[in-house]
Amino acid sequence: MSVKAPALFFAAMLCASPAHAVNARELMTHALQAEGHGDLATAAHDLEELAAAGFDGDAVVYDLGTVYARAERYGEAVWCFERVLRRAPLAWEARQNLQATRVRLARRDAGRSGRAVVEQAVPLRVQVGELVPLGWSVALGVLGQLGVVLAVLRRRRGTSELARVGATVALVLSLCASLASLGLVVARRTLPAESVVLHGGLRLLQSARVDAIPDAPVREGERVVRVARDGMFTRVRTLGGASGWLDGAELGDL
């Protein structure tokens, strides 16, 4: 599986204030030129500068992810694609690139360890919360409520049995849409505070100290739940249930 090259959809970014537009254009042009010449480090640096300057829209984060993936910085690539999908679940190219990157990462880890890598499944509640954008869920709820009102009115004014049956069916479907919308909104609002492990070779620490005893390993690109913070350290829980402390700089928040 291969990672698709960056798409050129930066029009929204270039509509920023004139004071920053020229720098943004220059950085983007330089990043694209550097990537075209195979200078992935420079391309990543320029895109990181754009993101740090506030130009962190889906397009920039997506393209940064593709550069990371090409440079085999898989944990950071996974983080970028996960960020895009958290904000825009229907971004299919980002989803395909995320899958391709995870496959590459699993193959690399398997080659190093000599054992097959098994991905931990994301909890169903999280999958539901990431299913559609929040705005779409709210819109579905509004349409469902409107459908309920119209169906009730139509049923009351129905002059035939067929019209009343049709109105009843519409009422049931509208109620189902409203309930589904409520479930999606609740799941989205209650998503856990998650991060992605950016680099490999890390182990969970038993305490929030630089010289703490290392415990269970965590994989590059693994999603973890943030439980607490203590200075520069973050206590996390993996999908497999292990918990411990990591340097916050090793985590990319979603």
pTM of the model: 0.81
203 in Cβ contact with 216 (< 8 Å): yes
pLDDT in tens, 103-156: 999 999 888 888 877 777 787 788 888 888 888 888 888 888 898 888 888 877
What ranges do the domains of the chain cover?
A: 13-113, 134-189, 194-253
With bands split at pLDDT 50, 70 and 90, how would you rate the model's confidence at 5?
Answer: low
User: Nearest CA to 31 among 84, 81, 67?
Assistant: 67
In CATH terms, the fold of domain 13-113 is: 1.25.40
CATH number of 194-253: 2.30.30.40
User: Nearest CA to 211 among 233, 185, 228?
Assistant: 233
What pLDDT is attached to residue 151?
83
Measured CA to CA, the distance from residue 187 to residue 88 in angstroms comes to: 16
Average pLDDT taken over every residue of the chain: 85
